Chains A and B, each alone.
Chain A
Amino acid sequence: MEETKKMTRQEKKALKERLKHLKSGKLEKRDASRGYLFMIPWFIGVAVFLAYPLGTSFWYSLNGIRNTPQGLFYTFKQFGNYTNILVRDPDFIVELVDYVTSTILSVPIIVVFALIIAMMLNMKIKGKSFFRLIFFLPVIIVSGPILGMLTEEGAGSISAIDMNAITAAISGVLPRMLAEPISDLFNNMITTLWYSGVQILIFLSGLQKIDKSMYEAAKIDGGSGWECFWKITLPNIKPMILLNVVYTVIFISSNSQNPIIGLIQTSMFSGDQDKGYGYAAAMAWLYSVVVILIVGLFALLLMTRKGAYEKQVKRAKKAKKQEARNRKKIERRNVRNAKRIERQRAQGKITSRTTSREDY
Chain B
Amino acid sequence: MKKKILALVLAALMLVSVLAACNKGGSGGGSTTTTVSGEYEEVEINGYKYKKAKDMTTDNITLTIHQFDQKEVYELLAQRFHEIYPNINVVVSYATVGDDYNNALTSMVQNNQAPDVLMYSDCDYALSNGYLLDFSSFWNSDPETQNLADTINDAGLGCFNLEGGQRYAVPFKFFPGIIYIDKNVMKTLNIPMPDQTWTWSEMINIIKQATGHADIDGMKYYGLYPYNRLDSYYGIAARQDIIGEFGFNGQEFDLSEWAIGEQEFSDLKLGGYVCPDRESDANEAWTGDWDTWAGATSHVAVFSEAFWTFQSSWNNPSFKEANPTIDIYPYVVPAVSEADASAGHHSIATLDFGGIGSGTKYPREAYELMKFVSFGIDGWHTRNEIYANEENVNASGTPLKYDVMPVPLTKDETILNEYVNNVYCAGMDDEHKEAWKTYFQSCMQPISFGWTNIAGYNNFLVNYFNNLSIHTLVDNGSAKAADYKDEAKRQADYYHAKAMLDDFGPTSLYKVLNEDEIARYQAVVDAFEKG
Q: Is B110 at the interface (CB under 8 A from chain A)?
A: yes
Q: Is A224 at the interface (CB under 8 A from chain B)?
A: no
Find chain A residues with CB under 8 A from B467 CB: 90
* Contact in complex: B128, A69 (CB < 8 Å): no
For chain B, residues 33 to 57, give those with C-beta under 8 angstroms from any C-beta of chain A.
Answer: none
Q: Is A271 at the interface (CB under 8 A from chain B)?
A: yes
* Contact in complex: A269, B128 (CB < 8 Å): no
Find chain B residues with CB under 8 A from A266 CB: 99
Q: Is B127 at the interface (CB under 8 A from chain A)?
A: yes
For chain B, residues 149 to 203, give those with C-beta under 8 angstroms from any C-beta of chain A.
Answer: none
Find chain A residues with CB under 8 A from B359 CB: 68-70
Interface centre among B109, B125, B129, by most A CB within 10 Å? Answer: B129
Mark interface residues in A61-76 (1 if CB within 8 Å of B CB, else 0): 0000011111011000
Given A69-B359, A70-B359, A272-B129 contact (CB < 8 Å): no
Find chain B residues with CB under 8 A from A269 CB: 99, 102-103, 106, 125
Given A265-B99, A269-B106, A66-B128 contact (CB < 8 Å): yes
Mark interface residues in B384-401 (1 if CB within 8 Å of A CB, else 0): 000000000000000000
Find chain B residues with CB under 8 A from A66 CB: 128-130, 509
Q: Is A254 at the interface (CB under 8 A from chain B)?
A: no
B128 contact from A70, A72, A273, Cβ within 8 A: A273
**Chain B contact residue count (CB 8 A cutoff):** 29
* Contact in complex: A272, B99 (CB < 8 Å): no
Mark interface residues in B489-524 (1 if CB within 8 Å of A CB, else 0): 000000000010011000001000000000000000
Q: Is A181 at the interface (CB under 8 A from chain B)?
A: no
Find chain B residues with CB under 8 A from A90 CB: 467
Q: Is A276 at the interface (CB under 8 A from chain B)?
A: yes
Q: How far is the CA of A120 from the CA of B409 in the complex (A)?
A: 65
* Contact in complex: B358, A69 (CB < 8 Å): yes
* Contact in complex: B109, A69 (CB < 8 Å): yes
Q: How far is the CA of A12 from the CA of B110 in the complex (A)?
A: 63
**Chain A contact residue count (CB 8 A cutoff):** 16
* Contact in complex: A67, B123 (CB < 8 Å): no
Residue in chain A with minimal CB distance to B121? A269
Q: How far is the CA of A72 from the CA of B459 in the complex (A)?
A: 22
Q: How far is the CA of A116 from the CA of B462 in the complex (A)?
A: 44
Given A271-B122, A272-B124, A272-B459, A67-B509 contact (CB < 8 Å): no
Q: Is A304 at the interface (CB under 8 A from chain B)?
A: no
* Contact in complex: B99, A69 (CB < 8 Å): no
Q: Is A270 at the interface (CB under 8 A from chain B)?
A: yes
Find chain A residues with CB under 8 A from B379 CB: none
* Contact in complex: A69, B502 (CB < 8 Å): no
Find chain A residues with CB under 8 A from B503 CB: 273
* Contact in complex: B127, A70 (CB < 8 Å): no
Mark interface residues in A239-256 (1 if CB within 8 Å of B CB, else 0): 000000000000000000
* Contact in complex: A69, B509 (CB < 8 Å): no
Q: Is B357 at the interface (CB under 8 A from chain A)?
A: yes
For chain B, residues 242 to 268, give those with C-beta under 8 angstroms from any C-beta of chain A.
Answer: none
Minimum CB–CB distance for A287 against chain B, Å: 18
For chain B, residues 465 to 499, give those with C-beta under 8 angstroms from any C-beta of chain A.
Answer: 467, 499
* Contact in complex: A67, B458 (CB < 8 Å): no
For chain A, residues 252 to 268, give those with C-beta under 8 angstroms from any C-beta of chain B.
Answer: 265-266
For chain B, residues 352 to 370, give those with C-beta under 8 angstroms from any C-beta of chain A.
Answer: 357-359
Q: Is B114 at the interface (CB under 8 A from chain A)?
A: yes
For chain B, residues 104 to 126, give those with C-beta under 8 angstroms from any C-beta of chain A.
Answer: 106, 109-110, 114, 122-126
Minimum CB–CB distance for A66 against chain B, Å: 5
Minimum CB–CB distance for A281 against chain B, Å: 14
Q: How far is the CA of A271 from the CA of B128 in the complex (A)?
A: 6
Q: Is B131 at the interface (CB under 8 A from chain A)?
A: yes
Mark interface residues in A268-306 (1 if CB within 8 Å of B CB, else 0): 011111001000000000000000000000000000000
* Contact in complex: A69, B357 (CB < 8 Å): yes
Q: How far is the CA of A266 from the CA of B109 in the complex (A)?
A: 18
Find chain A residues with CB under 8 A from B106 CB: 67, 269
For chain B, residues 450 to 470, give those with C-beta under 8 angstroms from any C-beta of chain A.
Answer: 458-459, 462-463, 467
* Contact in complex: A69, B125 (CB < 8 Å): no
For chain A, residues 44 to 86, give those with C-beta under 8 angstroms from any C-beta of chain B.
Answer: 66-70, 72-73
Find chain A residues with CB under 8 A from B357 CB: 69
* Contact in complex: B458, A271 (CB < 8 Å): yes
* Contact in complex: B125, A270 (CB < 8 Å): yes
Minimum CB–CB distance for B473 against chain A, Å: 17
Residue in chain A with minimal CB distance to B98? A269
Residue in chain B with minimal CB distance to A277? B106
Find chain B residues with CB under 8 A from A72 CB: 110
Minimum CB–CB distance for A268 against chain B, Å: 8
* Contact in complex: A73, B509 (CB < 8 Å): yes
Q: How far is the CA of A266 from the CA of B125 in the complex (A)?
A: 11
Residue in chain B with minimal CB distance to A152? B279
* Contact in complex: A68, B102 (CB < 8 Å): no
A271 contact from B99, B110, B127, B509, Cβ within 8 A: B127
Minimum CB–CB distance for A326 against chain B, Å: 64
Mark interface residues in A219-242 (1 if CB within 8 Å of B CB, else 0): 000000000000000000000000
Residue in chain A with minimal CB distance to B112? A69
Find chain A residues with CB under 8 A from B502 CB: 273
Minimum CB–CB distance for B267 against chain A, Å: 27
Given A73-B509, A271-B122, A271-B459, A68-B127 contact (CB < 8 Å): no
A276 contact from B109, B127, B128, B459, Cβ within 8 A: B128
Minimum CB–CB distance for B355 against chain A, Å: 12
Find chain B residues with CB under 8 A from A69 CB: 109, 114, 130-131, 357-359
Q: How far is the CA of A70 from the CA of B126 in the complex (A)?
A: 14
Q: How far is the CA of A123 from the CA of B122 in the complex (A)?
A: 57
Residue in chain A with minimal CB distance to B130? A68
Q: How far is the CA of A273 from the CA of B122 in the complex (A)?
A: 13
Minimum CB–CB distance for B362 against chain A, Å: 13
Q: How far is the CA of A115 from the CA of B365 in the complex (A)?
A: 64
* Contact in complex: B110, A67 (CB < 8 Å): yes
Minimum CB–CB distance for B529 against chain A, Å: 13
Q: How far is the CA of A73 from the CA of B129 in the complex (A)?
A: 9
A70 contact from B102, B124, B358, Cβ within 8 A: B358
Q: How far is the CA of A265 from the CA of B359 in the complex (A)?
A: 24
Find chain B residues with CB under 8 A from A271 CB: 122-128, 458-459, 499
Minimum CB–CB distance for B125 against chain A, Å: 4
Q: How far is the CA of A68 from the CA of B126 in the complex (A)?
A: 9
A67 contact from B109, B122, B127, B358, Cβ within 8 A: B109
Residue in chain B with minimal CB distance to A262? B99
Q: Which residues of B contact A (CB under 8 A)?
A: 99, 102-103, 106, 109-110, 114, 122-131, 357-359, 458-459, 462-463, 467, 499, 502-503, 509
Q: List 24 A-B contacts (CB under 8 A).
A: A66-B129, A67-B106, A68-B130, A68-B358, A68-B359, A68-B509, A69-B130, A69-B131, A69-B359, A72-B110, A90-B467, A265-B99, A266-B99, A269-B103, A269-B125, A270-B124, A270-B125, A271-B122, A271-B124, A271-B458, A271-B459, A272-B128, A276-B128, A276-B129
- A sample of 12 more A-B contacts (CB under 8 A), given A68-B359, A73-B509, is A67-B110, A68-B129, A69-B109, A69-B131, A69-B359, A70-B130, A70-B358, A72-B110, A269-B99, A269-B106, A271-B127, A273-B128
Which 9 pairs across A and B sit closest by C-beta, in order of nearness? A271-B124, A69-B359, A69-B114, A271-B125, A269-B102, A68-B130, A273-B502, A272-B459, A273-B128
